[in-house]
Amino acid sequence: MPATIVDIKEKTGLSLATISKYLNGGNVLPENKVKIEAAIKELHYEVNELARGLVTNKTNTVGILVFSIESPFTGMILHHVGEALRKKGYGMLIVDSCDDEQIEARNVKYLISKKVDGIIVLPVASRGDFLSPAKNAKIPIVLLDRSLSDIQYDCVRIDNRKSTYNAMKELINRNHKKIAVIASEREYTGRERFNGFMEAMRDAGLEVPADYQIRGTHSIATGYNGMKKLMALKDRPTGVFMSNYEITLGAMLSMNEAGFRCPDDISLLGFDDQLFFHLLQPQVYMVEQPMKALGDRAVELLIGRMNGIIDEDPIEIALGTRLQEGNSIKTL
Amino acid sequence: MPATIVDIKEKTGLSLATISKYLNGGNVLPENKVKIEAAIKELHYEVNELARGLVTNKTNTVGILVFSIESPFTGMILHHVGEALRKKGYGMLIVDSCDDEQIEARNVKYLISKKVDGIIVLPVASRGDFLSPAKNAKIPIVLLDRSLSDIQYDCVRIDNRKSTYNAMKELINRNHKKIAVIASEREYTGRERFNGFMEAMRDAGLEVPADYQIRGTHSIATGYNGMKKLMALKDRPTGVFMSNYEITLGAMLSMNEAGFRCPDDISLLGFDDQLFFHLLQPQVYMVEQPMKALGDRAVELLIGRMNGIIDEDPIEIALGTRLQEGNSIKTL
DNA sequence: CTGTTAGCGCTTTCAC
DNA sequence: GTGAAAGCGCTAACAG
Cα–chain-centroid distance for residue B99?
A: 13
| Chain B environment of A59 (Cβ under 8 Å) | 50
CA end-to-end distance (rounded Å), chain B: 75
Window 151-210 of A: residues touching B by CB (8 A cutoff) are none
Distance B36 CA to D3 C1' (A): 16
Residues 6+ apart with CB under 8 A from B171: B179, B239, B241, B267, B269, B329
Residues 6+ apart with CB under 8 A from B19: B5, B8, B9, B12, B36
pLDDT value of residue B257: 78
pLDDT value of residue A105: 97
Residue A277 above 80 pLDDT?
Answer: no
In sequence order, what E strands does A102-257 have?
A: 118-122, 141-144, 154-158, 179-184, 213-216, 239-242
Contact: A114, B49; criterion CB under 8 Å: yes
Residue A64's pLDDT band, with cuts at 50, 70 and 90, is very high
CA distance A316 to B4: 34
Identify the closest residue of chain A to B224 by CA–CA distance. A279
Distance A11 CA to D3 C1' (A): 39
CA distance A201 to A214: 15
Give me the DSSP letters along B173-208: TTT---EEEEEESSSHHHHHHHHHHHHHHHHTT---
Question: What average pLDDT does the structure give for chain A?
Answer: 93
Provide the positions of strand D that have an atom within 7 A of a protein CB.
1-14
List the one residue out of A188, A142, A183, A161 whose CA is nearest residue A320.
Answer: A161
pLDDT value of residue B266: 96
Q: How does pLDDT run across A250-263, given as a tens digit for each residue?
A: 898 888 878 898 99
pLDDT value of residue B279: 66
Q: Residue A199 is inside which H or E element, if any?
A: helix A188-203
Return the residue in B7, B61, B70, B138 with the most chain A beta carbons within 10 A, the one to mutate for interface testing.
B70
Residue A276 above 80 pLDDT?
Answer: no
The residue length of chain A stands at: 332
**Cα of B280 to nearest chain A Cα, Å:** 6
- Kindly report the number of other CB atoms within 10 A of residue B239's CB atom: 25
List the one residue out of A208, A49, A197 whose CA is nearest residue A117.
Answer: A49
pLDDT value of residue B250: 86
Residue A225 above 90 pLDDT?
Answer: yes
Residue A164's pLDDT band, with cuts at 50, 70 and 90, is very high
CA distance B239 to A295: 41
For CA atoms A216, A218, A220, A224, give the dihedral sign: positive
Give me the mean pLDDT over the A171-178 stretch.
97
pLDDT value of residue B36: 93
pLDDT value of residue B276: 67
pLDDT value of residue B2: 87
Q: How does pLDDT run across A203-218, given as a tens digit for each residue?
A: 999 999 999 999 999 9
Residue A28's pLDDT band, with cuts at 50, 70 and 90, is confident
Chain A CB within 8 Å of residue B48 CB: yes
Q: How does pLDDT run across B5-55, given as a tens digit for each residue?
A: 999 999 999 999 999 999 998 888 999 999 999 999 999 999 999 999 999
List the one residue out of B320, B329, B331 whose CA is nearest residue B161.
Answer: B320
- Nearest CB among A48, A78, A279 relative to B253 is that of A279
Q: How does pLDDT run across A118-152, given as a tens digit for each residue?
A: 999 999 999 999 999 999 999 999 999 999 988 88
CA distance A74 to B74: 11
**Cα of A203 to nearest chain B Cα, Å:** 34
Question: What average pLDDT does the structure give for chain B?
Answer: 93
Contact: A83, B75; criterion CB under 8 Å: no
Distance A213 CA to D3 C1' (A): 66
- Nearest CB among B114, B253, B275 relative to A220 is that of B275
- The answer to whether A69 and B82 are in contact (CB under 8 A) is yes
Burial B126-155 (b: 16+ CB within 10 A, else e): eebebbebbbebebbbbbbbbbbeeeebbb
List the one residue out of A48, A52, A46, A13 whose CA is nearest residue A32.
Answer: A13
Give me the mean pLDDT over the A177-182 stretch.
98
Q: Which residues touch strand C (CB under 7 A)?
A: A 13-18, 21, 26-29, 32, 51, 54-55, 57; B 1, 4-6, 16-17, 19-21, 23-24, 45, 47-48, 51-52, 54-56
Instruction: For each of the domains in chain B, give its residue range(s) and CATH number, in order of start.
Output: 5-56 (1.10.260), 61-158+291-319 (3.40.50.2300), 160-289 (3.40.50.2300)
CA distance A298 to B135: 36
Q: How does pLDDT run across B110-128, given as a tens digit for each residue?
A: 999 999 999 999 999 999 9
pLDDT value of residue A280: 67
The residue length of chain B stands at: 332
pLDDT value of residue B220: 84
The strand pairing partners of A184, in sequence order, are A216
pLDDT value of residue B219: 87
Q: How does pLDDT run across B160-188, given as a tens digit for each residue?
A: 999 999 999 999 999 999 999 999 999 99
Q: How does pLDDT run across B223-277, given as a tens digit for each residue?
A: 999 999 999 999 999 999 999 988 998 898 888 778 898 999 999 999 987 766 6
Residue B63's pLDDT band, with cuts at 50, 70 and 90, is very high
Percent above pLDDT 70 for chain A: 98
